[in-house]
Amino acid sequence: MIGATSSAPPTVTLPSDEEILITRRFDAPSTAKYREIVPNERIVTTEVFEMPGADPPALEVVTFAEADGRTTLELLIWCQSRELRDMILESGMETGMQEQMEVLEEVARSLR
């Protein structure tokens, strides 16, 4: 459940003189699996959407292309049925996706 907190706070350890390791366990499944990573170009994962009837997993392909100092991100979600595609669309994912893209752009700008 988004917004729910765990009773266990993060732990901070010092694995070496140059490292800080922060670990926190979440009460959530780790359902995505990375299938392919091509740095600066493409990420392919599977995703199980946490809603009734959203099985089998969807395949997500994220591609990045740079032109004229700007990056275009494309996210293709391939579903094994039209019903799953429609369930994902009706879940309100567009709003959450837009919020995530705005945060991603802020992070990218901060790296300049």
CA distance 79 to 58: 5
> Can you give the pTM of this predicted structure?
0.67
pLDDT, average across residues 26-35: 78
Cα of first residue to Cα of last residue in the chain, in angstroms, is 35
pLDDT, average across residues 34-47: 93
pLDDT, average across residues 42-51: 86
Q: Label residue 1 by pLDDT band (50, 70, 90).
A: very low
CA distance 5 to 28: 11
What's the chain's average pLDDT?
A: 84
Beta bridge partners of 59: 46, 78
**In sequence order, which ranges of 29-92 are alpha helices (DSSP H)?**
82-90
Using an 8 Å Cβ cutoff, are 88 and 54 in contact? Answer: yes
**Structural domains of the chain in order of their starting residue, each with its CATH number:** 30-110 (3.30.310)
Position 91 scores a pLDDT of: 86
